[in-house]
Amino acid sequence: MKFVTFRSTVGEDRYRVGVVVSETEIIDVTSATGNTDLDETSVLGFFDLEKPFLQLAREIVRNPEAEQKLDRGDIKLVSPVPRPGKIICIGLNYRDHAEESGMAIPKSPVIFSKFSTCMIGPTDAIVIPAGSSQLDYEAELAFVIGRRAKNVKSRNALDHVFGYANFNDVSARDFQFADGQWQRGKSCDTFAPMGEFVVTTDEIPDPQNLSIKLRLNGQTMQDSNTGQMIFGVVELIEFLSQFITLEPGDIVATGTPPGVGFARKPPVYMKDGDIVEVEIEGLGVLSNPVKAAN
């Protein structure tokens, strides 16, 4: 199933959860969460595979009431995970990207984080922060944790995944390289677009065989396959869970393939008025405009 988080376009303050059933229709399955008054924190509960949400959502989709059927034009999609507990990112996880960056191939996963305030959804604007002129894109496969994970072995790793989504690891390269570490350059507001939806694992049997592309103003800038990752989803869960307790609703962004803007000759950076799209096989298209800070 393809899960979205949304608000009504008529000004609803609280979040709701839906399942995409066609290009134009969503079925509201918020009642399956057991809480129709969802906020940023309680949304995380529906990613918990220990709860009956998935089974109840499937029952609603099979026999929806008329009022549960919504036109996509009548709602506002937000990030599927509006305020995750953790956003864990993996650097240099495609061999060719490490090479184009002039970095050695990692012997173990390179880990950094983004702040939860980075999160935005489809069609939301990526804002170029004041003082930056080197805003870069990074198409990435993200997975959402669905079960508490600590010291997980590879054979059980995928049991801890709720689903997969498009992710754009937006980076201010001038901040990143000036600071000598990555936190500011990776964690400005709006630097974690995600969506449009999270696809459950039953629809993505092999996360290591998905086409991954990024387009900037319609031009393909990145074009690869998740099979090119140095460390796949299974290896990442086993590695991360040795040191970090992963919890339902946490996001892991698995790294980007070659073709990023700063490594091009000449470099290509996003600018005011651009449209950037991430498309991963089976996960739809994540599209965001770019705009300068006010």
For residue range 30-39, list pLDDT tens digits in order: 999 998 889 9
Predicted local distance difference test score (pLDDT) of residue 9: 66
| Amino acid type, 196 | E
pLDDT in tens, the chain (294 residues): 999 999 986 566 789 999 999 999 999 999 999 988 899 889 999 999 999 999 999 999 999 999 999 999 999 999 999 999 999 999 989 988 878 778 788 899 999 999 999 999 999 999 999 999 999 999 999 999 999 999 999 999 999 999 999 999 999 999 999 988 889 999 999 999 999 999 999 999 999 999 999 999 999 999 999 999 999 999 999 999 999 999 999 999 999 999 999 999 999 999 999 999 999 999 999 999 999 998
Predicted local distance difference test score (pLDDT) of residue 102: 81
- Give the number of other Cβ atoms within 10 Å of residue 168's Cβ: 26
- Give the number of other Cβ atoms within 10 Å of residue 110's Cβ: 17
Predicted local distance difference test score (pLDDT) of residue 105: 84
For residue range 200-252, list pLDDT tens digits in order: 999 999 999 999 999 999 999 999 999 999 999 999 999 999 999 999 999 99
* Nearest C-alpha neighbor of 33 from the set 14, 12, 47, 19: 47
pTM, rounded to two decimals:
0.96
Predicted local distance difference test score (pLDDT) of residue 10: 57
Predicted local distance difference test score (pLDDT) of residue 108: 96
Mean pLDDT rounded to a whole number for the chain = 95
Predicted local distance difference test score (pLDDT) of residue 98: 79
Domains and CATH numbers, the chain: 2-78 (no CATH), 87-292 (3.90.850.10)
